[in-house]
Amino acid sequence: MFDDDLNRSGPREVPAGYPRPQLVREHWSDLCGQWSFQHDDSDIGLEERWFERESLAGTIVVPFPPESAASGVGETAHHRVVWYQRGFGAAELEAAGRREGSRILLHFGAVDYRSRIWIDGSFVGAHEGGHTPFAIDITEALHERETHSIVVRVEDDPEDVEQPRGKQDWLEHPHVIWYHRTSGIWQPVWLEAVEPVSVRSVHWVTDVHAATVSARLDLSRVPAEPVAVSIRLAFGGKVLGEVTTSTDRASVTVSLPVPLLGNGQGYEQLLWSPEHPRLVDADVRVGDDAVQSYLGLRTVHVGQNAFWLNDRPYYLRSVLNQGYWPESHLAAPSADALRAEAQLIKDLGFNATRVHQKFEDPRFLYWADRLGILVWGEAPAAFEYSTTAVERMVREWLDIVRRDFSHPSIVAWVPLNESWGVQHIASDARMQHYARSLVDLTKALDPTRPVVSNDGWEQVDTDIVAIHDYEADPDIMRERYADRAAVDRMIRTAGPAGRRLILSGDVDDKPVMLTEFGGISYDVDAHDHAWGYSTASSGDDFAERLEGLMGAVHDSRALQGFCYTQLTDTLQETNGLLTEAREPKIPIERIRRAITGR
């Protein structure tokens, strides 16, 4: 029988600040804080063997980029090469859970762009990709000594536009919609002790219709002999399913029946949605390695001109979120700031967000999962098309789809935006093949979510007709999006930006969404070179412009969702609903009424 008490207790909480919320171990050691630091403008550090040094000339607060004030450096001029150094010893290793026979992993959440790492002067690993996590097994480099030294060399060429860079400016000073750079270490650094055979990743695949959950476990190595594998799922303190098996492989997929999903009159009380963000706790054990995880039971698909969540049409009220803070740039100022950001999105009346040109910190995705926010996972773009740019983008995209696969909040993937990096896609067959291949590759990795091929315009084989339109006149907007016939006229001719909306693919039954609009500048902080797509002269003028545009959107019989530009002011881009300090520009209740239409 289905128990109405199942949802009375909430999901298990992830420890505050824990950098990897969907794969939690009991012990870890935070290496953020003060490191020594030095620019290397002449690129002499390798020749002079800086990796053997136990300190550098200056200091920095990790994980804040050196361009930011929070780092203590605050140097926004172009520097291609920087170095970091930090010591650690018995206390950090003990906190990480070091024990006899364990392996010590050094984790980096993200380092922009190319990094090399040494322990006590010995090279231990390298990584390329400015937005993706990596870990290095440093066990063999830890010889007997009281203190150890980590040295990191980072290369981030500010003029290399073949790198995925998103909104980071290629010029020294921010202009229009481009921001100060975020180079070097910009997400948490931490130590973790693990068993020789340990869980490296868990991918949850939920099949609500079949009443099953599958877990793909990737292990650190092939076991020397079969090891026991057990998984337990619980919701509201009650067991939903358990399974025990064994494996002698480095990857294993385990399927669990969830009988309560088979109750057609009660299964919806288990489902995750923004209105009911129910999370299922998961305990996973492989041999002696034990990890905690979680998942959400939900379905998402498109068709019949609608976006469907849990087999019901669902209207998205989304906001464009740059994920940028004035004091810390793309790095969040704290773990609490990520929770506050998610809560603000909910308080403003949105049920979704598009994190723009950024792979967001997993701790934000945790709060999106927990509080109930739909997320579009979008890639930061390179600005030039080349084989190098393609290779770099695909590598990072693969890593992020793997990293974020199990977050129930993520309901769509966006590999390209506004033809950035594929600027001639309308006429260049190579770029069309590339865009199409990204859609196909994403679906090969994850067939459970829709893919927006090129958000804004010039889309190929897209699952959602995603349109960008910064028209400021509500009457024009109301006419453009009155019904599907009006939208189809634009599809047959040209979109609001004068570009073709769809280059190839059948979109007759695909939902239409206005995925960028608004952008009203109301500069309450008197920024230099304040910028927006239209300008308000006062708080009342801002509110009336917002209400006019939102009224036109709500009146549309064609749109299945929207994404308003944008959540906060960001440097000179003063078109936020909030200031850069996250303060509402008009009463939050008035914003909420405009967004929700009630």
CATH of the domain at 446: 3.20.20.80
CA neighbor of 267 nearest in space, from 255, 278, 283, 275: 278
pLDDT > 70 in the chain, percent: 98
Residues 6+ apart with CB under 8 A from 282: 202, 204, 215, 231, 232, 233, 234, 292, 293, 294, 295
**Residues linked to residue 286 through DSSP beta bridges, in sequence order:** 229, 289
CB count in 10 Å sphere of residue 264: 7
Helix (H) or strand (E) holding 377: strand 374-378
Domain of residue 220: give its range.
Answer: 4-15+197-299
- Across the range 580-596, mean pLDDT stands at 97
Residues 273 and 388 both lie in one domain: no
CA neighbor of 365 nearest in space, from 389, 385, 344, 339: 339
Distance CA 49, CA 51 (A): 5
Residues 6+ apart with CB under 8 A from 210: none
Q: Is the pLDDT of residue 537 over 50?
A: yes
Distance CA 256, CA 282 (A): 12
Return the higher-pLDDT residue of 2 and 156: 156
For residue 45, what are its two tokens? Answer: 């550090």
Q: Is the pLDDT of residue 1 over 70?
A: no
Residues 208 and 138 both lie in one domain: no
CB 346 within 8 A of CB 325: no
CA neighbor of 291 nearest in space, from 199, 225, 379, 428: 199
Residues 6+ apart with CB under 8 A from 447: none
Domain boundary among 299, 329, 358: 299
CB 72 within 8 A of CB 61: yes
Return the higher-pLDDT residue of 177 and 115: 115
CB 202 within 8 A of CB 186: no
Residues 463 and 512 both lie in one domain: yes
Residues 166 and 260 both lie in one domain: no
3-state DSSP of 86-97: EEEEHHHHHHCC
Distance CA 309, CA 428 (A): 36
Distance CA 535, CA 520 (A): 6
Total domains in the chain come to 3
CB count in 10 Å sphere of residue 266: 15
Q: With bands split at pLDDT 50, 70 and 90, how would you rate the model's confidence at 149?
A: very high
Question: Where residue 108 sits, what CATH number does that domain have?
Answer: 2.60.120.260
Q: Is the pLDDT of residue 46 over 70?
A: yes
Q: Kindly state whether residue 149 falls inside one of the protein's structural domains.
A: yes
How many helices (H) and strands (E) would you count in the chain?
9, 33
pLDDT the model gives residue 189: 98
Domain boundary among 175, 194, 213: 194
- Across the range 382-397, mean pLDDT stands at 98
Q: Kindly state whether residue 22 falls inside one of the protein's structural domains.
A: no
Distance CA 252, CA 219 (A): 8
Give the pairing type, strands 410-414 and 374-378.
Answer: parallel
pLDDT the model gives residue 39: 98
Q: What DSSP string describes 473-520?
A: -HHHHHHHTSSHHHHHHHHHS--TTSS-SEEES--TTS-EEEEEEE-E
Residue showing tokens 């865009």: 435
Q: Kindly report, residue by residue over 303-319, the tens digit of the pLDDT.
A: 999 999 999 999 999 99
Helix (H) or strand (E) holding 364: helix 362-371
What are the backbone angles phi and psi of residue 138, rounded to the nearest 5°? -105, 10
Q: Is the pLDDT of residue 3 over 90?
A: no
Q: Kindly report, residue by residue over 370-389, the tens digit of the pLDDT.
A: 999 999 999 999 999 999 99
Q: Kindly state whether residue 25 falls inside one of the protein's structural domains.
A: no
pLDDT the model gives residue 9: 52
- Across the range 81-97, mean pLDDT stands at 97
CB 332 within 8 A of CB 338: yes
For residue 149, what are its two tokens? Answer: 């030294």
Residues 72 and 172 both lie in one domain: yes
Domain boundary among 250, 268, 299: 299
* Planar angle of CA 590, 595, 598, nearest 5 degrees: 75
Distance CA 294, CA 13 (A): 10
Helix (H) or strand (E) holding 118: strand 114-119
Q: Is the pLDDT of residue 92 over 80?
A: yes
Residues 158 and 226 both lie in one domain: no
Q: Kindly state whether residue 21 falls inside one of the protein's structural domains.
A: no
Residues 204 and 111 both lie in one domain: no
Q: With bands split at pLDDT 50, 70 and 90, how would you rate the model's confidence at 525?
A: confident
Q: Kindly state whether residue 419 falls inside one of the protein's structural domains.
A: yes
Q: Kindly state whether residue 525 falls inside one of the protein's structural domains.
A: yes
Average per-residue pLDDT for the chain? 96
Q: What DSSP string describes 419-463?
A: TTT-TTTTT-HHHHHHHHHHHHHHHHH-TTS-B-SSBBSSEES-S
For 14, the 3-state DSSP assignment is coil
pLDDT the model gives residue 329: 97
Q: Is the pLDDT of residue 197 over 80?
A: yes
**Residues linked to residue 217 through DSSP beta bridges, in sequence order:** 202, 252
**Residues linked to residue 376 through DSSP beta bridges, in sequence order:** 354, 412
- Across the range 53-62, mean pLDDT stands at 97
Residue showing tokens 């890639």: 379
Q: Is the pLDDT of residue 5 over 70?
A: no
- The residue type of 582 is R
Enter the DSSP assignment of 52. Answer: G
Residue showing tokens 């909910």: 346
Q: Kindly state whether residue 26 falls inside one of the protein's structural domains.
A: no
- Across the range 29-52, mean pLDDT stands at 98
pLDDT > 90 in the chain, percent: 94
Residues 258 and 345 both lie in one domain: no
pLDDT the model gives residue 365: 98
Q: With bands split at pLDDT 50, 70 and 90, how would you rate the model's confidence at 4?
A: very low
Q: Is the pLDDT of residue 8 over 80?
A: no
Residues 83 and 165 both lie in one domain: yes
- Across the range 394-412, mean pLDDT stands at 98
- Across the range 563-571, mean pLDDT stands at 96
Q: Is the pLDDT of residue 6 over 90?
A: no
Residues 282 and 331 both lie in one domain: no
Q: With bands split at pLDDT 50, 70 and 90, how would you rate the model's confidence at 10?
A: low
Residues 68 and 92 both lie in one domain: yes
Q: Kindly state whether residue 168 falls inside one of the protein's structural domains.
A: yes
pLDDT the model gives residue 7: 46
Q: What is the layout of strands, in order, in the sheet containing 465-468?
A: 410-414, 374-378, 352-355, 316-321, 559-565, 512-518, 465-468
Return the higher-pLDDT residue of 212 and 11: 212
Sheet strands (E) in 156-295:
184-185, 189-194, 199-207, 212-219, 227-235, 238-247, 251-257, 280-286, 289-295
Residues 406 and 547 both lie in one domain: yes
Distance CA 141, CA 139 (A): 5
Q: What is the layout of strands, in order, in the sheet containing 312-313?
A: 300-303, 306-309, 312-313
Enter the DSSP assignment of 51. Answer: G
3-state DSSP of 525-548: CCCCCCECCEECCCHHHHHHHHHH
pLDDT the model gives residue 76: 94
